[in-house]
Amino acid sequence: MDAAQTIREAVARVERIRVDANSNPNLQVATSSIKSFQARRFAGTYSDLLASQEYGPATGFFLEDLYSDKDYSLRDAQFARIAGGLQKLFPQQVIATAVSLAKLHVLTEELDRQMAEAWIDTGSTTPPLEDTARYVECWKSVDKEIERNEQLQMVLHIGFELDRLTRVPGLRMMLRMMRRPATAMGMGSLQGFLESGFDIFAHMSGKGIGARTFLSSIQEREANWIRQLSNDSKTVSIVKLQECLTSAR
Question: What pTM was computed for the model?
Answer: 0.86
Given a cut of 90, whether residue 233 has pLDDT beyond it is yes
pLDDT single digits (tens) 63-85:
887 766 666 666 666 666 655 66
Check residue 69 and give its pLDDT.
Answer: 65
Mean pLDDT of 220-225: 96
Task: Return all residues near 127 (Cβ < 8 A) that are at least 6 apart.
Answer: none
pLDDT single digits (tens) 87-98:
666 677 777 887
Backbone angles phi, psi at 213, to 5 degrees: -65, -45
If one compares 84 and 230, the residue with the highest pLDDT of the two is 230
Check residue 25 and give its pLDDT.
Answer: 93
Check residue 175 and give its pLDDT.
Answer: 74
Given a cut of 90, whether residue 209 has pLDDT beyond it is no
Beta strands in the chain, from DSSP E residues, in sequence order: none
> Residue 225: which domain range?
3-247
Check residue 72 and give its pLDDT.
Answer: 66
Q: What size, in residues, is the chain?
A: 249
Integer-rounded Cα Rg, in Å, for the chain is 19
Check residue 166 and give its pLDDT.
Answer: 83
Check residue 94 and give its pLDDT.
Answer: 75
Given a cut of 70, whether residue 206 has pLDDT beyond it is no
Determine what percent of the chain is predicted with pLDDT higher than 70. Answer: 82
Q: How many domains does the chain have?
A: 1
Query: Would you say 67 and 39 are in contact if contact means Cβ atoms under 8 Å apart?
Result: yes
Check residue 244 and give its pLDDT.
Answer: 92
Check residue 146 and give its pLDDT.
Answer: 97
- Please, how many CA atoms are within 13 Å of residue 34, restricted to the half-sphere of its CB? 27
pLDDT single digits (tens) 139-151:
999 999 999 999 9
CA 146, 29, 238 angle in degrees (round to 5)?
Answer: 50
Cα distances (angstroms) measured from residue 64 to each of 39, 86, 223? 9, 23, 20
Query: Would you say 183 and 89 are in contact if contact means Cβ atoms under 8 Å apart?
Result: no
DSSP character at residue 168:
S
CA 178, 179, 182 angle in degrees (round to 5)?
Answer: 75
SS3 letters for 41-53? HHHHHCHHHHCCC
How far is C-alpha 28 from the geometric centre of its chain's CA atoms?
19
